[in-house]
A and B are shown apart, each in its own frame.
Chain A
Amino acid sequence: MPTLKQPPWLKKTAHSSPVVKVTADILRDAGVSTVCQSARCPNIFDCFSRRQATFLILGERCTRRCGFCAVEKGVPGAVDPAEVSRVSAAVFHLGLQHVIITSVTRDDIDDGGAGHFARMITSLRKICGASLTIEVLTPDFSGNASAVDRVLAESPHIFSHNLETVPRLYAKARCGADYERSLRVLRRAHENGRGVRTKSSIMLGLGETRAEIAALLADLRSVGCDMLAVGQYLRPSPLQIPVERYIRPEEFSEIREMGYTLGFTDVQSGPFVRSSYRAREGVRDGDTGQAS
């Protein structure tokens, strides 16, 4: 299949701002990983110029082989307990008000890494203070409800888990995952989260239809998902599955409206939207301190 020509709206600026370098230096010196770098995110200049980053924990190697993702795959090493301190120090030095913590999938660990997520939240509150708002973007923990509860027990403000795409395309884009299982994770977070807000993100341009998108959004609402992020799938390299279609900005606007009509409280929808992109804007004024 020939590579599609990139449309004119997929254009970014490669800032040479000193802040970009400062951010990169803080992250490098702290010895932490970010999904911004691992996933080759095109928003990296925007985010780094605002001292924003999304942290990738539980190592840099993923046990799943999702067709869209550029994160390194294979057998991961042992989880490094000191990682939580390093990430907390980086968040402190960057002066973040809102942090997003995500991870590779760790099917090799009994709790899928939930305990590490929980310790990460505890450490962030201890080092950065209660005013930091915390968003976790977790894997599906193989559907392990007690693992989800382990994370929820630390009261993150936002619990995110991404459906990524419509169920028909899971075999191509998200092998090893299960659409219904992911919905159950989000339902569990909604029901057991004691006020936590739940969020999910999807990518468009993999061949989904508008009817499939509408059904997915309705599925998310049926499990109580509050927040939605919708962006264009962009192939990180020729090793990943190709883009089927570039979605026009006006279509993203239509999907945003669809989301609000269905009852999502926050919908980010646009070509460069990612689950973590400008996520601070989705944080409510009341989201300070520990979620109750």
Chain B
Amino acid sequence: MEIQVKLPELSPGVMGATISLWHYTEDDTIKRDDDLVEILTDKATFNVPSPVGGRIIKRFVSEGETVHTGDLLVTIESTQKPL
């Protein structure tokens, strides 16, 4: 099934974050909890881990783009359910 990975809420009031580094590209295979993407906020850099293992179908944002809580980051083909 296709799993949508969205930007989690980093903290109330954090208006936006910048995608600083994708650790995986499309068609790559990723394991659950592996660092998927690195995002930059005013206070710190966060790695967002993958909630499932599987194959990256599509990345929806590029490095340097600003993202907000709930924005779709990536879709992953997976047999697992997010915890």
Contact = CB atoms under 8 A, between A and B. Distances in A.
B83 interface: yes
B80 to A, nearest CB: 13
Interface stretch (A37-45, A171-179, A183-191, A206-214): A37-45
Interface string A39-57: 0111011000000000000
B82 A42 contact: no
A215 interface: no
A67 interface: no
Contact of B42 (A12, A24, A238): A238
B1 interface: no
A235 B42 contact: yes
Task: Give the contact-size bracket for chain A.
Answer: 20 to 34
Interface string A10-48: 111111111000001000000000001110111011000
B11 A14 contact: no
A14 B51 contact: no
Nearest to B6: A16
A62 to B, nearest CB: 14
A236 B42 contact: yes
B46 A18 contact: no
A10 B44 contact: yes
A44 B9 CA distance: 10
B46 A11 contact: yes
Given A14-B10, A16-B51, A16-B83, A40 B46 contact: no
Contacts, number: 73
Given A13-B35, A16-B49, A16-B83, A234 B44 contact: yes
Contacts of B47: 11-14
A12 B49 contact: no
A237 B46 CA distance: 16
B48 interface: yes
A235 B49 contact: no
Contacts of B12: 37-38, 40
Interface string A223-264: 000000000001111100000000000000000000000000
B83 A42 contact: no
A192 interface: no
Given A6-B40, A16-B83, A41-B43, 5 more contacts: A13-B46, A15-B49, A16-B51, A38-B12, A238-B42
